[in-house]
């Protein structure tokens, strides 16, 4: 049993499972053996018996030693070292390489070989082969030839770090607006913000000196089941939500005024009305699409269209509830169905074409950054990504977060994690495609839960969120591909690095030129005092709050405490009120320290508008390279957009802004906020 336990421990380590980890409280945690075994099986490594463990260890060793090159090698500047695994001590061995019309060779005796292990009586090692420093950035086919024959693979030639924006190089400090598109009101939209509103809003921000507009994920959701409205629980992270299409391009369709009423997006009615309108002009829309778009569409695009059509066909049911022959994207029955419903598939592809065109127009902002898009950390188990490519995911697990002060039982986000072994085996192609899709028409990309590049907290089936364990991802390769796509797409990177971030990860972000996220609520010393604005790193984005936290007005009034108390009768609201009283006093002290409030000002004497403007000035005064001002705070909204952990009882992802875009610039709240922000950001050099 002891040998078996040692074998299991070796397998767990080699599979990248962190059976021991430290929580945000600094305490050590350990996953149970049952959890470890479940996670091993979910990444495709059997471990039920000692024989299984030996077989799995042999599989990993074979993969590591007998494959000279992985499907994709990521080379970072300036070294451009290709790491090749070969038997050590090959007398007179020569390694020849070919990339396009360029060729070279190295005697293996002249290359250092790092010992990896022994198999079949032979020692294997990894040789670091220097390739030319002037290889262009991008993806290349490579062939190497050794004593064992010829091997073909791919390489990604990546820069040393992501795109470092010019404004950082020159010490400028920019500001922008953040908002959730679905909640934008206008006099012409159909009860949900759309790409036409986005184009209008980018124009407004640019006119007033803003240089960025950060928005929620635009990922495709579930038109057949529109109440699944979270942009962070999408059907697909590769494709766009067609509900954001601006219907004003089709004057023949008439908007029903009833769907516009109310302070929350009526998703069921909005989806029904917009999809009905789009289908009524479907032939006209398809005729507008260049024929090459259909002929050149990828297999993934056709599969997404097929999932969309099937979802409608089966009344919005998740694919798990479809007939068995339709649950697999590679089934012959499904292929036959697709042939007989080709017009439906072409319609859904046409929606993607139109959405992309409208987003492209909205992305032409003239701002130094422009649109900052948002990449969710995962995809719904019910959606197109998982249905069309189930082997990419570890379907026996979900991922989330371990217990912390905000969620004492941990968090289960209900999405299956990508299997890192499968991702690497595919040469990271799904990751690359996802980056390219989400950097399109944007000057920045925010990456939700960015520490997932290093590890994700997996929760196996039957376990609670407090019982999971972290699984490591190929961080070096993923960072390299991010850096490459950042340069190719001229897109800066922002990491949402809140919560339980691994030690050293923020240092890695800085080296990679990825902006850190700094929230006013959380930028505090251990004593509780708020950090001064000049302590914010230049490579950071300063923001008051996010969609998962109270708005500034809601925080100031304690609105969030009242809502939590209504949702949970066991909520200790009196304790929360006492803590909030102290927080308000500390905020006032921080603002007085910066001469943003008069001395001896008492919290109860400050209006919502006054505290919001003072905090906005505090943030834009900071040394952060980019300050984002939430439009919901500018408009003094009291309710937050989402309350984590709630499914019903609160209008998550539905709340609209209180004013229309047409009236935004007329309002005093906008004028005073913009004046305050511009005054603080008029300094051209960072601290």
The 10s digit of each residue's pLDDT in 408-439 is: 788 999 999 999 999 999 999 999 999 999 99
Asked if residues 62 and 117 have their Cβ atoms less than 8 Å apart, the reply is no
- Give the mean pLDDT of 466-484: 97
- CA angle (198, 202, 208) in 5-degree steps: 145
Asked if residues 468 and 402 have their Cβ atoms less than 8 Å apart, the reply is yes
Residue 685 has pLDDT above 50, yes or no: no
Least-confidence region, from 44-48, 117-121, 248-252: 117-121
Could you say which of 3.40.50, 3.30.70, 2.60.40, 1.10.287 is the CATH number of the domain covering 78-158? 2.60.40
Cα maximum dimension of the chain: 83
Q: If you average pLDDT over every residue of the chain, what do you get? A: 94
Residues whose CB falls within 8 Å of the CB of residue 539, separated by 6 or more in sequence, listed in order: 168, 510, 513, 514, 515, 516, 625
The torsion angles phi and psi of 26, rounded to 5 degrees, stand at: 80, 0
- Give the mean pLDDT of 579-596: 97
Q: Tell me if the bond preceding 78 is cis, omega within 30° of 0.
A: yes
Q: Which helix (H) or strand (E) holds 577?
A: helix 573-593
Asked if residues 431 and 401 have their Cβ atoms less than 8 Å apart, the reply is no
Asked if residues 31 and 468 have their Cβ atoms less than 8 Å apart, the reply is yes
Q: What is the CATH superfamily name and number for domain 166-218+358-680?
A: Glycosidases (3.20.20.80)
Q: Confidence band (pLDDT; 50, 70, 90) for 108?
A: confident
Task: Classify residue 660 by burial, with Cβ atoms within 10 Å: 0-12, 13-18, 19+.
Answer: middle
Q: What share of the chain is helix, strand, coil (3-state, %, to 5)?
A: 40, 20, 40
The pLDDT, as a whole number, for residue 91 is 61
Give per-residue pLDDT as tens, 653-670: 999 999 999 999 999 999
- Give the mean pLDDT of 682-686: 48
The pLDDT, as a whole number, for residue 147 is 79
Helix ranges restricted to H, 162-266: 166-169, 195-207
Could you tell me the CA-to-CA distances from 649 to 192, 269, 573, 652 in Å, in that order? 21, 19, 18, 9
DSSP state of 180: -
Could you tell me the CA-to-CA distances from 285 to 162, 216, 302 in Å, in that order? 38, 27, 17
Residue 398 has pLDDT above 80, yes or no: yes
Residues whose CB falls within 8 Å of the CB of residue 605, separated by 6 or more in sequence, listed in order: none
CATH 3.20.20.80 positions along the chain are: 166-218+358-680
Helix ranges restricted to H, 16-155: 33-42, 50-65
Could you tell me the CA-to-CA distances from 134 to 73, 78, 130, 635 in Å, in that order? 17, 9, 12, 51
Give per-residue pLDDT as tens, 55-106: 999 999 999 999 999 999 999 999 899 999 999 877 668 999 999 999 999 9
- Give the mean pLDDT of 24-41: 90
Could you tell me the CA-to-CA distances from 410 to 407, 470, 644, 653, 657 in Å, in that order? 5, 13, 12, 22, 31
Residue 355 tokens, joined: 């959405």
Residue 406 has pLDDT above 70, yes or no: no
- Give the mean pLDDT of 298-317: 96
Give per-residue pLDDT as tens, 625-648: 999 999 999 999 999 999 988 888
Residue 472 tokens, joined: 């490591």
Give per-residue pLDDT as tens, 351-373: 999 999 999 999 999 999 999 99
Q: Confidence band (pLDDT; 50, 70, 90) for 26?
A: confident
Q: Confidence band (pLDDT; 50, 70, 90) for 686?
A: very low
Rounded Cα–Cα distance for residues 62 and 401 (Å): 33
Residue 111 has pLDDT above 90, yes or no: no
Q: Work out the number of other CB atoms within 10 angstroms of the CB of residue 521.
A: 17
Report helix, strand or coil for 537. coil
The pLDDT, as a whole number, for residue 404 is 75
End-to-end CA distance of the chain: 61
CATH 2.60.40 positions along the chain are: 78-158
Rounded Cα–Cα distance for residues 265 and 271 (Å): 10
The pLDDT, as a whole number, for residue 224 is 87
Beta partners for 139? 156
């Amino acid at each position: 049993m002891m040998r078996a336990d040692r074998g299991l421990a070796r397998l767990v380590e080699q599979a990248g499972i962190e059976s021991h980890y430290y929580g945000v409280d600094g305490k050590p945690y350990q996953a149970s053996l049952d959890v470890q075994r479940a996670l091993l099986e979910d990444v495709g490594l059997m471990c039920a018996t000692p024989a299984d463990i030996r077989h799995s260890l042999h599989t990993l060793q074979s993969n590591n030693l007998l494959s000279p090159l992985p499907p994709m090698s990521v080379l970072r500047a300036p070294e451009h070292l290709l790491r090749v695994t070969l038997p050590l001590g090959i007398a007179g061995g020569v390694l020849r390489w070919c990339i396009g019309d360029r060729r070279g060779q190295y005697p293996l005796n002249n290359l250092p070989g790092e010992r990896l292990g022994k198999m079949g009586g032979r020692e294997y090692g990894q040789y670091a082969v220097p390739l030319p420093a002037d290889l262009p950035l991008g993806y290349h086919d490579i062939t190497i030839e050794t004593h064992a024959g010829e091997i073909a693979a791919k390489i990604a030639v990546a820069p040393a770090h992501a795109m470092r924006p010019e404004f950082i190089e020159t010490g400028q400090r920019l500001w922008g607006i953040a908002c959730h598109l679905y909640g934008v009101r206008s006099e012409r939209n159909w009860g949900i913000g759309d790409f036409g509103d986005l184009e209008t809003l980018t124009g407004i921000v640019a006119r007033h000196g803003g240089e960025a507009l950060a928005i929620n994920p635009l990922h495709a959701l579930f038109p057949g089941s529109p109440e699944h409205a979270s942009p962070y629980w999408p059907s697909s992270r590769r494709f766009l939500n067609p509900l954001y299409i601006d219907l004003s391009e089709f004057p023949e369709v008439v908007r029903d005024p009833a769907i516009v009423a109310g302070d929350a997006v009526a998703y069921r009615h909005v989806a029904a009305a917009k999809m009905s309108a789009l289908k009524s002009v479907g032939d006209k829309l398809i005729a507008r699409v260049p024929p090459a778009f259909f002929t050149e569409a990828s297999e993934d695009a056709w599969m997404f269209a097929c999932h969309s059509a099937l979802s409608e066909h089966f009344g919005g049911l998740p694919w798990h509830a479809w007939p068995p022959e339709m649950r697999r994207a590679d089934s012959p029955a499904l292929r036959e169905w697709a042939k007989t419903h080709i017009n439906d598939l072409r319609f859904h592809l046409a929606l993607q074409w139109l959405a992309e065109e409208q987003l492209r127009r909205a992305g032409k902002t003239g701002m130094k950054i422009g649109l900052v898009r948002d990449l969710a950390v995962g995809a719904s188990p019910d959606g197109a990504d998982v249905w069309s490519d189930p082997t990419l995911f570890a379907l026996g697990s979900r991922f989330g977060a371990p217990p912390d002060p905000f969620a004492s039982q941990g968090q289960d986000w209900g999405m299956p994690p990508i299997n890192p072994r499968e991702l690497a085996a595919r040469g990271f192609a799904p990751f690359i495609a996802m980056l390219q899709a989400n950097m399109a028409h944007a000057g920045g990309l925010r990456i939700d839960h960015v520490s997932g590049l290093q590890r994700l907290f997996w929760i196996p089936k039957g376990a609670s969120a407090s019982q999971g364990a972290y699984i490591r991802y190929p961080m070096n390769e993923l960072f390299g591909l991010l850096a490459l796509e950042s340069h190719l797409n001229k897109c800066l990177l922002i990491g949402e690095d809140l919560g339980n971030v691994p030690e050293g990860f923020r240092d890695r972000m800085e080296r990679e030129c990825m902006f850190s996220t700094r929230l006013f609520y959380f930028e505090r010393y251990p004593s509780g005092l708020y950090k001064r604005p000049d302590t914010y790193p230049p490579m950071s984005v300063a923001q008051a709050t996010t969609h998962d936290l109270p708005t500034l007005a809601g925080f100031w009034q304690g609105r969030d405490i009242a809502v939590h108390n209504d949702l949970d009768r066991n909520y200790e609201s009196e304790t929360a009120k006492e803590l909030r009283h102290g927080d308000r006093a500390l905020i006032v002290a921080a603002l007085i320290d910066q001469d943003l409030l008069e001395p001896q000002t008492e919290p109860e004497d400050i209006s919502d508008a006054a505290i919001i403007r003072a905090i906005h000035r505090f943030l834009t005064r900071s040394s952060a390279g980019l300050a984002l001002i939430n439009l919901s705070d500018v408009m003094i909204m009291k309710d937050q957009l989402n309350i984590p952990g709630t499914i019903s009882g609160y209008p998550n992802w539905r709340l609209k802004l209180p004013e229309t875009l047409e009236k935004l610039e007329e309002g005093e709240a906008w004028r005073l906020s913009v004046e305050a922000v511009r005054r603080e950001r008029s300094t051209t050099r960072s601290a």
